[in-house]
Structure formats: C-alpha cells, structure tokens
Amino acid sequence: MSNKLFINKLYINGAWKFPLEGGTFDVINPATEEVIHQAPAASEADVNEAVLAARAAFDHGPWPKMPGRERAHYLRAIAAGIRARLGELARLESIDNGKPLPEAEWDIGDAAGCFEYYATLAEELDANPVEPIALADGRFTSKAVREPLGVAGAIIPWNYPLLMAAWKVAPALAAGCTVVLKPAALTSLTALVLAEIADAAKLPAGVLNVVTGSGAKAGQALIDHPGVDKLAFTGSGPVGSTVMAAAARDIKRVSLELGGKSPFIVFDDSDIDKAVEWIMFGIFWNQGQVCSATSRVLVQQALYQPLLERLVEETRNITIGSGLDAGVLLGPLVSKGQLNQVLAGIDEARRAGATVVTGGKQPAGFDKGYFLEPTILADVPLDSRAWSEEFFGPVVCIKPFADEAEAIRLANDSRFGLAAAVMSADDQRCDRVAAQLRAGIVWINCSQPTFTEAPWGGYKQSGIGRELGRWGLDNYLETKQITRYDSEQPWGWYIK
C-alpha cells in the first residue's frame, strides 16, 4: 500500500490543514494488529472551522444557487475519481476495516454509482422546480418550491466506510447542501481520500469538509454546533439517541439509521441449497457487521433439522483470513473491542442456555488479528439478549417454528424493525407474510441486496427517515410555499 494514500490532514474549506491542537490517533489493521498510520484528530476548534466554512459556502457561495445540472457535473466527476482509484480505495478499505478485498471492491463501485445516481436526480430538480397549487380562493395563486436545507452534519459508521459516506454526501450535494463529514475513528482513511477526489474535481471551497477524530470530541462538537441545520447519523441506537437529543435542543432536522435484529423466515417448501446460501450471505457478509443482518433465522419444523445440518456443514467450510488474501470470505472484525464484545455476547448466550452448534471462538492458527469463527447458536431463549440484541458480528441464532402465525409473531417480537426476509416456494404466502412484517425493508427469497434506487430505513427503534432513492434526496430539501395575491380589488380587511 502506497504511503501517498495515508493522508494526515483534515480537509476544511477547500484546503488541507493539520489539526489545530496537533492531535492524532492510531489506525490499526485488524488482520495484523499493526498500527499503519497516525490519522489527524480534529478538536472542537477544527470542527467549528469546518462548520463555519460549510455555513459560508451555503449562505454566500454559488453552490445552493447552481442549477442541478451544474452540481451534477461535480457529482459525476467525483464518481469518475472514485472509479479511477477503485483498486487503491478497495485495498485501503480492506486494511482499515478488515473486509475481504472483493467485498471492498463491490462497496467502492457502489459508492461511485451512488454519486452517479444522485447526479441524475440533481438534474431532475431542474425539470420540476415548481409545483403549482390549486387554491379554492381564485384571488390568490400559490406554488411549492423545494430548496436545499442548509449545512448537513454527516456522521458515518465503520462497517461500510466509503459507501456510507456516499449515501449521505451524494444526496446532500445533489440537493445543494454543504456538508461536514465525520467518519468513524476506526475507519477514517477512505473518507479523507474522498476529500482528495472532491478537491481534484474542483468542488467549491467549503462545500465538503472532512474532519476525522473521536466521536466524543469531533462527533459531539458537530452534533452540538448551532451552525448545522441537519444531522444525518448511521450507527448504534444509544449514540443515535444522543444525536436526536442534541438535535432537539436546536430543532435541527435529523435522520437516523440505527441497529437491527432482523428475522429471516424459511418455510418448509424452500429449496435447502438456496436457503443456506442466503442465510449465510445474510449474516456472514462483511463479518456480520451489517445493521440489517438477518441474524434471527426462523425455520419451519419439518425443514429445521436438515437445514441446520447443511448450514453447519457449509459454515465450517468458510475460509477465514486477511481480507487481502485470495479466497477469503470472512475477514477479521474491525477492532479488538468489537471482537471482545461479540465473544462476551456468545458467552452470555451460553450461560442463558443457548447451544453453540459451531464456532463461538477465535480460530486456531491466528496469532494476530481480530478473527472469529462464524457462529451458529441454537436453543436460544426468547428472553435472552442473544435473541433480542444485535451482536454485530458473524453470529446467527436459529429457531424452529410451527406455522405462519407463529413465524410472524416471533419475527415481529423485537424493538427493532430495520429489515426482514421470507423464503417460500409459495409466492402468495411470501407476499402475505411480507405485508405483516414490521420492517422498513423486506426481502423475498433473498437477504441483503441493496439498491441505490430503493428506500432504506427502519421501523421502531431502527431509525427515523429513509436514505437512498428519491427519499434520500428529500432528506436534504425544504419545501417552501409562495403565495401571491393577484386580484386588483383591495383585500378589504382595513380600508381608511
């Protein structure tokens, strides 16, 4: 990996700057536990400077006033820059996050596609700038216009570093907003390269600012800043609650994409091979570090035992190793803290009465790295944390059910509602079950496919609002009513 990819400055107001207080933090390769970089740690003063730059770029700069087609030009230039450096970015993502290189390449391609998609939506804003409103009183004419919301503070997680940045930055820029992006401290490297790509695309100064550092310092300074009009956060529920409380103080707009404990219902008429493949993809992709991971698998009784046996067999064949090694399907977890948290959750599940069917420990032969065997838990009590709370690791709970009613009841018995999946050869049953699942995303005969064009977000404690598609653009637009009195007659309220 070339040292030129290791950026050691913050990107503020179109310029690269060392943190005002000179702070840094370690960047650790989770496959080797080696410190590979000292990243810049933003202070509250740095965040303030970034917000003021974004504020000036929005209030006085050309960006929000540009036609959408001009903003689209910049978005496509950023997408082209990402594609031109796809290989470099994927390797950087792999050593920073731990994910297998093919997965990282997929993510980087999707990030470029996200900028391209929102470039098109920016152009469409020009096509329909005004919505006429029919009024009952003919003396008035009225219209609704959509305008950029303002300065957006975007805080992203560590599981899909560049892709999650794209999900927020691309629609915000398309709408005409300016952005301060705060990536996760564990995975900051590709966000800084995104700033480099935006700079090369000649994005106007202050439109995108990237500040790296801790959530406690840089993140808190961003969510507390009165100059931010909108907060967009993806991450854990407890932090999401903190973001929402901070937004409430200033009545900031907020969108939250939080955790899940998503169910996957498999009926007994399902093809075992297909079911096993989608179950594995739904929980072992990205080491299970996926907010929508289908980590509660419900299998109809007649199929339960043969499916479990096949799932165990295939799970034990998964290749574990460094994300840069060919053929690896399961890399390390992102950090030692995350590994310890998942191991503690497995131990707690054991004590609660769950059976570790396979996995549950660090694999043999790995002296370094935050590796964990893919794990299947059976006999998991419904009142245990293992069944109700996300592990955010390669751990799946599996349980039999008797009939459709029980499956739906068990699936919906959760404080989360991000995603759910159902598999059956009966299309009508799939549609019937999908209609009853209390989740923002429902997959039929699959798990986890995600498309930029479709809305993403959850019910209940899984979040507020939707990202992606036109819904993602709406997050960064305000609607203004403009009404005109067109009659030549006096209004008549007060005449001398």
| Residues noted as catalytic | 257
CA contacts within 13 A on the Cβ side of 59: 9
Tokens 């070339």 sit on residue = 2
User: DSSP labels for 405-425?
Assistant: HHHHHHHH-SSEESEEEEE-S
Edge to edge, the sheet with strand 477-485 lists 130-133, 140-148, 477-485
Whether residue 64 contacts residue 204, with contact meaning beta carbons closer than 8 Å, is answered with no
Indicate the length of the chain as a whole number.
496
CB atoms within 10 A of CB 226: 10
Q: Is the backbone of residue 202 left (phi > 0), alpha (psi -120 to 50) or beta?
A: left
DSSP state, 158? S
CA angle 75, 78, 82 (to 5 degrees): 140
How far apart are the C-alpha atoms of 153 and 221, rounded to whole Å?
10
Sign of the C-alpha dihedral computed for residues 93, 446, 280 and 299 taken in this order: positive
- Cα 438 to Cα 295, 410, 434: the distances in Å are 16, 11, 9
